Structure 1
Amino acid sequence: MNTSTRPAAVAGAFYPAEPQALRGLLDRQLSSVAPPSEPRPQPQPHPRPKMLLVPHAGYVYSGEVAAAAFATLPPWREQIERVVLLGPAHRLPVRGIALPTVSAFETPLGRIPLDLDAMALLKDLPQIESADPPHAQEHSLEVQLPFLQRVLGDGFKLLPLLVGGASPAQVAQALERVWGGDETLVLISSDLSHFLSYEQAHARDRVTVERILQFATDLVGEQACGAAPLNGALALAARHGLRPRLLRQRNSGDIPGGEHRRVVGYVSIAFEADPAAPALLEQRSADQRLGPILLSGARHTIAHRLGLPGPPAPDEGAHPALSRPGASFVSLHDAGGQLRGCVGRLQAQRPLIEDVCANAFAAAFCDSRFAPLRAEEWPGLQVEVSLLEPAEPMPVQDEAEALAALRPGIDGLILAWRDRQATFLPQVWAQCPRPAQFLAALKHKAGLPPDFWAADLRLSRYRVRCFNELAYASEDAP
């Protein structure tokens, strides 16, 4: 048996090389994103993450974003026996997917044995090659290892897959063979956009993240450097009925002292096992038909008002959901990705297609925060439609209980107090990733101070199904 080990290659550059310093940094970053450890109330537990998307830059830049994903793992530490780690090849070209020939990877925190049995399951696939040189200096896989060692201990084996020119179908085929059950965690390593201005990166990454949450499988390297492994993994995650949960998003310009001229984007997303997977898969199939119709209806309404050519008005018979009562929000963004209007309803009071078209008109021409949309803005306009599920009350006694009950990346929230009401869609978690930050911003929107609480304040939460027209484009996003 081969007993050779791949030594750490980027220790001292991407993360500390000294074990004690490395443990200290990991613990600080993990504790910065972990839920508060108050005796009461405890946060509502999330389902077990089956797959995580994490960035792979130096810890000073992307460590806290990655930590938000790794902090979800400690409750499942005893279950996870194998980590399948996929990342892009940056240093040397890889024709398909490269497996190493060594039997362990090493970091300053110790050796991690490779899962040789799982590796053997893949070696007959034509896209698999056994090659150590592409792995030798590659950072996209290595930077994840100290985090895994810190949260899982030494009870897991590693299956490292370095992806080059493999197609989404080839990645999904290999991943399916080692998908396993509760004992297997899948980890996808990827950053987002590279070397755009802060504003450009924010706009592009917002769209990319929405596409990832919609299980797009045609991402390109300009959107995510790990597009090759990510496309295949997303195809398989959708097939298995996983539910995505946005954990944290930022770019290198967000760190203290970070420069804004050339930044790199980062995101962490958990894809969780869902007990309602069969119904979820059926819903996703229906949404693939419904989303483009709603987006077309919204765009038709705006184009008609501007006197510009646009898509035809949707036929109400094109989908059974169109004529049923529905509640929606329509959000518009300009060519730079900045919000240009957002209007919606919280309750289903009219046919869905009528609601979407009316909200599209109002978002473009009646949102009091913005001037009415002009014809010259039409070419760069981006349209997003969010369908709201029925809201459910949150029976909390105080703010601490409310913060513990909120589900970042999942919950839209309605705040009502006397004659004041405000809501945030779940998409706002990307800008306000902590529950306290999210709730304080919502209070501000309602005209209340950030420390306000009253016994008669009411909170309700809801989920949305979000459709961004770029997610349905037939060509790659810009």
Structure 2
Amino acid sequence: MVSFDIHQNKDVRSTTRSAASAGNSARQGYVRPAAVAGTFYPADRTRLKQLINTQLDYGRALLKELAPQLPAGVPKAVIVPHAGYVYSGTTAALAYALLERGRGSVTRAVIVGPTHRVAVRGVACSTATAFATPLGEASVDVNAERRALGLAADEPLRSGMHAHPNVPDSALIVNDPTHAHEHAVEVQIPFLQTIFGPDLSIVPLNAGDASPEEVGDVLRSLWGGPETVIVISSDLSHYHPEAYARQLDDETIDNIAHLRLPIHPRRACGAYPINGLLDVLTRGLDSAKRETSRETADSSQENTATPTNPQFDLRLLCRSTSGDDGVVALAGKPRPAMDDPDEPVVGYASFAVWQSEATGNSTESASRTHVDNHVSNDSKQDSASRTSAEQVDEANRRTALLSLARAAIRQHLGLENDPSNSPEVIISSNPWLDEPGASFVTLTEHGQLRGCIGTLEAYRALGKDVADHAVDAAAHDPRFFPVSKDEYPLLHVEVSVLGKPSPLPVQSRTELEQTLRPGIDGLILTDRHGRRATFLPQVWEQLQVPHDFVSHLLAKAGIAPSYDWHDGEITCERYEVSAYAEH
């Protein structure tokens, strides 16, 4: 989708100068000049620095209030708006005040925005070796772009190129026209130059028509280690009356916070970049398609290997609209009063994502990417994965699902595999596996958990979901070493197909424990600070008393096991599972 909302800076009196001449550069190659200096932000270097510092001071003050509720350390990724600074700069500034923790350690920013003016299919980098702003030139990590495209180390980038078909991020392309006048990436660069200094390199990308997985694969290929931050550039709703816009934006914010894919472009102009990040948060960094070492090879800046199977913590920071005159509402706080509820406005929000190594054991298995965050508020309890599939004989369902999981693991391990029983053949022979579905695959060995990975909400075909989770349970569960070829015959496989979560209308812990159905209900708990966790129904086998079940789940969410509530402070959802285990 291409839109033409030029939501610019109110102050356009600054004299526009050619940003290509900003700073003295000895770099060779094309420098992409600033396209929106003087409109979205001041073109005068001094006035731009003053404005950014004022807004960062505002963000730092907000951070002092919000910091006790946030994880420590530098966020790995942020979602920030990209309108004129006088409209959305303060909303972005809170996220950048957080990223400022990484000054001295962060040396690269991967910036992904939408395509407002020139549509593309895929995710586009450019041939530029630097992007200029009034603060100077930000060098582009062209070597990382070459590797992501599958090019030789000395091969020049040419507009019109496509990634090599064998690379994991095959949706990556080179397209200069889509970058020429695009503001979504450009407006982030002066903030990044200010908080990280002149040595920062960038990877500027415009995400056009692309699936969440395609954008996610590009992000995975450029993810890097602690030296790299991911900046997703997006506004929210556009030009609705403010009273209605706030309602729409709060729904979108909730969907993002709960990792509900996909976000629609009508709700966020940067939906494609956002969906790519959410794909990473739900599917993780490891993929059978991804070459894990490629991004860290041959780069002086990429001196830390990409961590595998991390756990992510996504937090809303703040929200606002263009009608709020730069005043933002912190997460969990009410919005300011509206001057004119009927005024058309643009919505903004900032999020941050923290990444850590997933550690520890659990009575119930974890998703590869913080499954505790992947929940749904859909009030209907019927599952998208069980439409016409309910008509399939249960014995056939069991055979197909277990055979599919086994075949996927064999294929991954490189074991001898009957071509007539490959994952592709099993899926093609069972059309119901092409319907949307969410699953967990659990592996045990001699009665002990050996790996378990899954998701709570259907976002792709059930067959692909099961096959991918089977491989991830065998190879990518962070609690265990990968399954070896010799272990394969010892594995016991179980596939769980999940229904959609539905809200439980309970106000207290006592009501919850009285309502739960042991052995039937999977449970999701969410508190007002965004802490969430889930247990599958199978956990009832170890925790048969509702009070114990809830206590352990609270502990998993980082809440005191003895915590009691009476005012609906904890949101409760339940879901059912159809489990298919080997005898």
> Who is 2:206 aligned against?
162
> Who is 1:212 aligned against?
256
Label 1:210 to 1:121 Cα distance change in 2 as closer, same or farther (>3 A). same
Q: Map Cα deviations across residues 432-467 of structure 1 (whole Å, 9 max, x no partner).
A: xxxxxxxxxxxxxxxxxxxxxxxxxxxxxxxx6787
Asked if structure 2 preserves the Cα contact closer than 8 Å seen for 1:50 and 1:271, the reply is yes
Label 1:209 to 1:145 Cα distance change in 2 as closer, same or farther (>3 A). same
Q: Map Cα deviations across residues 416-441 of structure 1 (whole Å, 9 max, x no partner).
A: xxxxx99896xxxxxxxxxxxxxxxx
Pairwise mapping of residues 312-331 of structure 1 onto structure 2 (< 5 A)?
A: none
1:281 aligns to 2:281 (yes or no): no
Amino acid at match of 1:272: W
1:143 aligns to 2:187 (yes or no): yes
Structure 2 gap segments, 5+ residues each: 1-26, 151-162, 164-169, 285-310, 327-337, 383-495, 497-502, 518-523, 532-556, 560-564, 576-583
Q: CA deviation at 1:173?
A: 1.3
Using the alignment, how far apart are the partners of 1:188 and 1:62 within structure 2?
A: 14
> Who is 1:195 aligned against?
239
Amino acid at match of 1:281: S
> Who is 1:60 aligned against?
86
User: Of 315, 320, 330, which aligns to 1:245?
Assistant: 315
Using the alignment, how far apart are the partners of 1:107 and 1:468 within structure 2?
A: 51
Q: Map Cα deviations across residues 186-212 of structure 1 (whole Å, 9 max, x no partner).
A: 110000111111111111111111110
Q: CA deviation at 1:245?
A: 1.0
Asked if structure 1 preserves the Cα contact closer than 8 Å seen for 2:124 and 2:206, the reply is yes
1:255 aligns to 2:325 (yes or no): yes
Pairwise mapping of residues 27-426 of structure 1 onto structure 2 (< 5 A)?
A: 27-35=53-61, 46-124=72-150, 125=163, 126-240=170-284, 241-255=311-325, 260-276=342-358, 281=367, 285=371, 291=376, 296=381, 344-345=507-508, 350-351=513-514, 353=516, 387-388=526-527
Secondary structure in structure 2 of the residue aligned to 1:232: helix
- TM normalised by structure 1 equals 0.62
Using the alignment, how far apart are the partners of 2:367 and 2:191 within structure 1?
A: 32
Using the alignment, how far apart are the partners of 1:18 and 1:349 within structure 2?
A: 59
Q: CA deviation at 1:226?
A: 0.6
Asked if structure 1 preserves the Cα contact closer than 8 Å seen for 2:283 and 2:368, the reply is no
Label 1:389 to 1:189 Cα distance change in 2 as closer, same or farther (>3 A). closer
Label 1:466 to 1:55 Cα distance change in 2 as closer, same or farther (>3 A). farther
Amino acid at match of 1:169: E
Q: CA deviation at 1:273?
A: 1.2
Secondary structure in structure 2 of the residue aligned to 1:208: helix
Using the alignment, how far apart are the partners of 1:14 and 1:75 within structure 2?
A: 26
Structure 1 gap segments, 5+ residues each: 298-318, 320-327, 331-342, 355-384, 393-409, 413-420, 426-463, 470-478
Larger relative contact order, structure 1 or 2 (CA cutoff 8 Å, min sep 6) = 1
Q: Map Cα deviations across residues 91-136 of structure 1 (whole Å, 9 max, x no partner).
A: 1111212111010001010100000111102224342222222111
Q: How many residues align?
A: 337
Using the alignment, how far apart are the partners of 2:209 and 2:33 within structure 1?
A: 25
Q: CA deviation at 1:37?
A: 10
Using the alignment, how far apart are the partners of 2:129 and 2:92 within structure 1?
A: 26
Asked if structure 1 preserves the Cα contact closer than 8 Å seen for 2:123 and 2:171, the reply is yes
Amino acid at match of 1:221: P
Using the alignment, how far apart are the partners of 1:18 and 1:422 within structure 2?
A: 56
Label 1:223 to 1:182 Cα distance change in 2 as closer, same or farther (>3 A). same
> Who is 1:323 aligned against?
none
Amino acid at match of 2:507: G
Amino acid at match of 1:58: G
Using the alignment, how far apart are the partners of 2:257 and 2:377 within structure 1?
A: 16
Label 1:165 to 1:276 Cα distance change in 2 as closer, same or farther (>3 A). same
Q: CA deviation at 1:230?
A: 1.1
Question: Percent identity among equivalent residues?
Answer: 35
Label 1:133 to 1:245 Cα distance change in 2 as closer, same or farther (>3 A). same
Q: Larger deviation: 71-80 or 50-59?
A: 71-80
Q: CA deviation at 1:217?
A: 2.4
> Who is 2:29 aligned against?
3
Amino acid at match of 1:66: A
Asked if structure 2 preserves the Cα contact closer than 8 Å seen for 1:99 and 1:119, the reply is yes
Q: CA deviation at 1:90?
A: 0.5
Using the alignment, how far apart are the partners of 1:163 and 1:466 within structure 2?
A: 36
Q: CA deviation at 1:48?
A: 2.4
Using the alignment, how far apart are the partners of 1:468 and 1:99 within structure 2?
A: 43
Label 1:287 to 1:195 Cα distance change in 2 as closer, same or farther (>3 A). closer
Q: Map Cα deviations across residues 295-339 of structure 1 (whole Å, 9 max, x no partner).
A: 649xxxxxxxxxxxxxxxxxxxxx9xxxxxxxx985xxxxxxxxx
Amino acid at match of 1:88: P
Asked if structure 2 preserves the Cα contact closer than 8 Å seen for 1:2 and 1:101, the reply is no
Label 1:277 to 1:422 Cα distance change in 2 as closer, same or farther (>3 A). same
Secondary structure in structure 1 of the residue aligned to 2:356: coil
Label 1:174 to 1:24 Cα distance change in 2 as closer, same or farther (>3 A). same
Q: CA deviation at 1:349?
A: 6.3
Name the Cα RMSD after superposition. Answer: 4.0
Q: CA deviation at 1:285?
A: 4.3
Amino acid at match of 1:238: T
Using the alignment, how far apart are the partners of 1:83 and 1:173 within structure 2?
A: 17
Amino acid at match of 1:5: V
Q: CA deviation at 1:344?
A: 2.5
Label 1:100 to 1:390 Cα distance change in 2 as closer, same or farther (>3 A). closer
Q: CA deviation at 1:255?
A: 1.6
Secondary structure in structure 2 of the residue aligned to 1:182: coil
Secondary structure in structure 2 of the residue aligned to 1:20: helix
Using the alignment, how far apart are the partners of 2:42 and 2:529 within structure 1?
A: 48
Secondary structure in structure 2 of the residue aligned to 1:217: coil
Using the alignment, how far apart are the partners of 1:197 and 1:275 within structure 2?
A: 43
Asked if structure 1 preserves the Cα contact closer than 8 Å seen for 2:282 and 2:369, the reply is no
Using the alignment, how far apart are the partners of 2:206 and 2:530 within structure 1?
A: 43
Using the alignment, how far apart are the partners of 1:389 and 1:12 within structure 2?
A: 41
- TM normalised by structure 2 equals 0.51
